[in-house]
Structure 1
Amino acid sequence: MEDLIKAIIMGIVEGLTEFLPISSTGHMILTGELIGFTGDRADTFKVVIQLGAVLAVLVLYRTRFLKMLNFNFRKGSGLNALHVAIAMMPASVLAVALHSVIKKYLFGYETVLIGLVAGGILMIVADRSKRPIVAQELDDISYKQAFYIGCFQILSLWPGFSRSGSTISGGMLTGTSQKAAAEFTFIVSVPIMVGASAVDLIGSREFLTIADLPLFLVGLITAFIVGMIAVVTFINMMKKLRLSYFAYYRFALAALFFFIMM
């Protein structure tokens, strides 16, 4: 029962933070330490419940994903699969090349702290930039913008930087509205997270047991439900709140992280 409660707590944290620009990695590490849920089994659990968050985006944006299956790449046809592939490319290539290095050297408390602060600074810079908006809606994003956003996504390979924080900032710095950049982030995150989770699960397969199936299912379902609520809420928040507010939260989290972990 204690493990199931921990699974629910971790699922809530994953669902709430995966798509917000506040670093799900930082929150998961901090929460795991606070409730005593650490080690190889816990690391595998975190990978599994990410798929719950992915499923939330698939359900919410199912019409958009189905539309992209027509593979219409003509200019002016709106967002399509090529936009997603272009945006995925830079970070995916580096993630594959540096996967073992990242896992070995960059998943410590110090690196997460650095990522939280550095990512927050980038978000403030993006929020205060005077770049003219040329892509107000999701379908206005060009292939060139998709590539630039993908380049910014490389920053998310550093734990604590936040995938959504880096890509939303990159979108805003390349002329995409805050809301369109956030939605593009959600869509691009799906294939990337599925691929990353698959790689991690293959490497952690010895920690997957039938006995842990209820634990993993509870965490995954919780992350799915909370993730759906979080995505819808965040999109509405993007219409009203500046990105800087999330940056200030990151700084506060980094301070809390420092005093608890150091």
Structure 2
Amino acid sequence: MSLFEALVLAIVEGLTEFLPVSSTGHMIIATSLLGMESTPFVKLFTVAIQLGTILSVVVLYFKRFFKSLDFYYKLFVAFLPAAVLGLVFSDLIDTMLESPMTVAISLVIGGVVLLFVDKWFNKPKIDDSDDISYAKAFRIGLYQCLAMIPGTSRSGASIVGGMAEKLSRKSAAEFSFFLAVPTMFGATGKKLIDYFMDGGQLTSDEVNILVIGNIVGFVVAIIAIRSFIGFLTKHGFKLFGWYRIIVGLVIIVLLLSGQSLSVV
């Protein structure tokens, strides 16, 4: 992997991880356009740079993470479904990850959902994520599990789940950001352990690429989160819905035309 390729992937990750557009789908397009081979290190890189995006949430919402233990208890309750089901269905998830068509179809279906979600859940009762009950946190965590289907979007699933639980768009998005921290940290930790358990090693150049990628992902994610909250509050999800549909259809057209695409 060249430094240029790493920078492109880090920017894509930072821009798409917290938006309801599926970072996986965008990684497919980015790696295919760059002509990258799906090597073990490339697969590791696309997961490990999530550490930078995780840090962006902690920095932006620093006070919230040190406000009370109740905050962490609710995050744990919301994280639990994905942790359990992720372990139980890990082989099935890996199989689905090998199918770009699954990603493309999920993008389109999720896009259609986003076109109507503002109409379906237009009477929020909770405007502060601190007011979420444990039961609501658990149910939002169940919604997040839908993102185990590649292309669904972790943030999209958890935000829609939050709105279904009567959260406002802003509070649902913020809780989705918070929930990303344990979820993505767990996924990244598992990927790193698996990589080294399988005998993988990192050269000094690869370590440098990982560090630079995380720094770039961190900066871009901060910009994306700030912009997303402002846009979402004013305009809702419809634009993201149409965008997902277009991206999904692009991938489908490429696949049907014989283009070889791979999920990193």
Fold conserved (TM > 0.5)?
yes
Unaligned regions of 5+ residues in structure 1, if any? 74-79
* AA in 2 matched with 1:172: M
Q: Corresponding residue for 1:203?
A: 194
Cα distance change of structure 1 residues 104 and 180 upon mapping to structure 2, 3 Å threshold: same
8 Å Cα contact 2:121-2:166 kept in structure 1: no
The answer on 1:110 being equivalent to 2:110 is no
Q: TM-score, normalised by structure 2?
A: 0.90
Give the match's secondary structure for 1:204.
Answer: helix
Cα distance change of structure 1 residues 184 and 151 upon mapping to structure 2, 3 Å threshold: same
Cα distance change of structure 1 residues 208 and 10 upon mapping to structure 2, 3 Å threshold: farther
Q: Distance in 2 between matches of 1:91 and 1:107?
A: 20
Q: Corresponding residue for 2:134?
A: 143
Query: How far apart are residue 130 of structure 1 and its match?
Result: 4.5
Match of residue 167, structure 1, among 154, 158, 166 = 158
Query: How far apart are residue 16 of structure 1 and its match?
Result: 0.2
Query: How far apart are residue 216 of structure 1 and its match?
Result: 1.4
Query: How far apart are residue 82 of structure 1 and its match?
Result: 1.9
Query: How far apart are residue 90 of structure 1 and its match?
Result: 1.4
8 Å Cα contact 2:15-2:224 kept in structure 1: yes
Query: How far apart are residue 131 of structure 1 and its match?
Result: 5.1
Report Cα offsets for 1:221-257 as digits up to 9, x if no partner.
Answer: 1111101111111111121121122111100111111
Give the match's secondary structure for 2:67.
Answer: helix
Give the match's secondary structure for 1:192.
Answer: helix
Cα distance change of structure 1 residues 108 and 132 upon mapping to structure 2, 3 Å threshold: same
Q: Corresponding residue for 1:228?
A: 222
8 Å Cα contact 2:108-2:249 kept in structure 1: no
Matches within 5 A, 1:2-41: 3-39=2-38, 40-41=40-41
Q: Corresponding residue for 1:85?
A: 76
Cα distance change of structure 1 residues 130 and 26 upon mapping to structure 2, 3 Å threshold: closer
Report Cα offsets for 1:93-115 as digits up to 9, x if no partner.
Answer: 10111112211333321110121
Q: TM-score, normalised by structure 1?
A: 0.91
Q: Distance in 1 between matches of 2:201 and 2:154?
A: 26
Cα distance change of structure 1 residues 130 and 14 upon mapping to structure 2, 3 Å threshold: closer
Match of residue 244, structure 2, among 250, 253, 259 = 250
Q: Corresponding residue for 1:77?
A: none
8 Å Cα contact 1:56-1:225 kept in structure 2: yes
Unaligned regions of 5+ residues in structure 2, if any? 257-264
Give me the CA root mean square deviation. Answer: 1.5
Q: Distance in 2 between matches of 1:12 and 1:208?
A: 25
Match of residue 175, structure 2, among 184, 195, 209 = 184
Count of residues paired in the alignment: 252
8 Å Cα contact 2:101-2:251 kept in structure 1: no
Q: Identify the range of structure 1 (209-218 vs 6-15) with the bigger mean alpha-carbon deviation.
A: 209-218
